[in-house]
Amino acid sequence: MDRQTAIYKQWRHAFKLDPDREIDDDRLDAICMSGTDAVIVGGSTGVTFDNTVDLMSRIRRYEVPCALEVSSEEAAVPGFDHYFVPLVLNTDRSEWTTGRQIGALRKFGAFIPWEETSAEGYLILNGDAEAAKLTGARSSLDAETVTAHLYMADRLMRLPIIYLEYSGVFGDMALVKRAARLTTGARIFYGGGIDGPEKARLAAEAAHTVIVGNVIYDDLAAALSTVAAVANVPPVG
Q: Is 65 in the site for ligand 1GP (CB under 6 A)?
A: no
Compute CA distances 200 → 169, 188, 191, whole Å: 13, 15, 10
d(CA 215, CA 224): 9
Residues pairing with 121 in the sheet: 87, 162
Residue of closest CB approach to ligand 1GP: 191
Closest CB to ligand 1GP among residues 72, 105:
72
Whether residue 167 is annotated as binding a ligand: the answer is yes
Whether residue 16 is annotated as binding a ligand: the answer is yes
Query: Cβ 193 to ligand 1GP, closest distance in Å?
Result: 5
**101 dihedral zone (left: phi>0; alpha: psi -120 to 50; beta):** alpha
Query: Cβ 107 to ligand 1GP, closest distance in Å?
Result: 26
Query: Are the beta carbons of 198 and 228 closer than 8 angstroms?
Result: no
Question: How many of the chain's residues bind ligand 1GP (CB under 6 A)?
Answer: 13
Query: Cβ 181 to ligand 1GP, closest distance in Å?
Result: 21
Q: Taking CB under 6 A as the criterion, which residues in 202-221 touch ligand 1GP?
A: 211-215
Whether residue 165 is annotated as binding a ligand: the answer is yes
Query: Would you give the end-to-end CA distance of the chain in angstroms?
Result: 21
What is the contact mask toward ligand 1GP in residues 158 to 197, using x (rule: CB under 6 A)?
Answer: -------x-xx----------------------xxxx---
Query: Cβ 158 to ligand 1GP, closest distance in Å?
Result: 23
What does the CA dihedral 165, 171, 173, 176 come to, rounded to 10 degrees?
-20
Query: Are the beta carbons of 188 and 179 closer than 8 angstroms?
Result: yes
Mapped onto helix, strand or coil, the DSSP state of residue 91 is: strand
Q: What residues are designated binding site?
A: 16, 18, 44, 163-168, 193, 213-214
* Contacting positions for ligand 1GP (CB under 6 A): 16, 165, 167-168, 191-194, 211-215
